[in-house]
Amino acid sequence: MLRVGLTGGVACGKSAVARMMEERGAFLIQADLIAHELMKPGEPVYAEVVKRFGPEIVNINEGNTINRAKLADVAFGNGRITELNQIVHPAVIKRQEEWMAEIGRREPQGIAVVEAALIIEAGVDGRFDKLVVVTCPEDDKISRFVSRSANGDPIRRLPQDAAVREIRRRMAAQLPDEEKVKRADFVIDNSGSLAETEAQVDTLMQELRTLAAAT
């Protein structure tokens, strides 16, 4: 089985690329969705996050769920994103490893794709056979993030000026695209049309299938 890490900066379109890869036969798991599951009430990660970051991040009237926007404000605004990652990342990585092991048993020549924003920053890129980095210009990232806010994304429902500040804050916590590209085995440039991105993914999947067949 071929283990593939898929990463890129905030609002670069990596989730769209992940879906394209899945449509073309890859198995996909998304770190963000794993983290959401682990931060549900009753999970050990939930208990530790609330303990460290306080009851103000809890939606009291919504089943005591974690308010992700408030948690992001506390973590990014107070310079505690590393602390949050130290709680969440080990559990997310464990779940990813369990999932990839299961895919390997079921599909020995399959392609298992883990989509995660901080693969390189967390120092776990060595867990993968190949690393794919999705890039686009900073202006595109900002406009996409602002558009999500304007269209009512429940996590990013922000006025335009606040959305711009938020994405710049998040970008500051990640390596720039130029540094990510240096570590990549494959790069998807998502600055063009949807068709252009899909053509790149077609080429990528052809190469990954060849590598997977050789494993």
Q: What is the CATH number of the domain that holds 47?
A: 3.40.50.300
Spatial separation of the C-alpha atoms in residues 125 and 146, rounded to whole Å: 29
Instruction: Name 7's bridge partners.
Output: 133
pLDDT for the residue 158:
62
pTM metric for this prediction: 0.88
Spatial separation of the C-alpha atoms in residues 11 and 140, rounded to whole Å: 8
What residues contact 208, with CB distance under 8 A and at least 6 apart? 2, 4, 26, 111, 130
pLDDT for the residue 78:
80
pLDDT for the residue 141:
86
pLDDT tier at 215 (50, 70, 90 boundaries)? confident
pLDDT tier at 39 (50, 70, 90 boundaries)? very high
Q: How many domains does the chain have?
A: 1
Spatial separation of the C-alpha atoms in residues 146 and 140, rounded to whole Å: 10
Average pLDDT for residues 171-180, to the nearest whole number?
Answer: 89
Provide the token pair at 36: 């959401």
For residues 29 and 155, the model is more confident at 29
pLDDT tier at 148 (50, 70, 90 boundaries)? low
Average pLDDT for residues 36-64, to the nearest whole number?
Answer: 95
Average pLDDT along the chain: 91
Spatial separation of the C-alpha atoms in residues 84 and 153, rounded to whole Å: 22
pLDDT for the residue 72:
86
Q: Which domain holds residue 54?
A: 2-213
Residue where the block lists tokens 């695209």: 177
For residues 154 and 107, the model is more confident at 107
pLDDT for the residue 154:
46
Residue 180 has pLDDT above 80, yes or no: yes
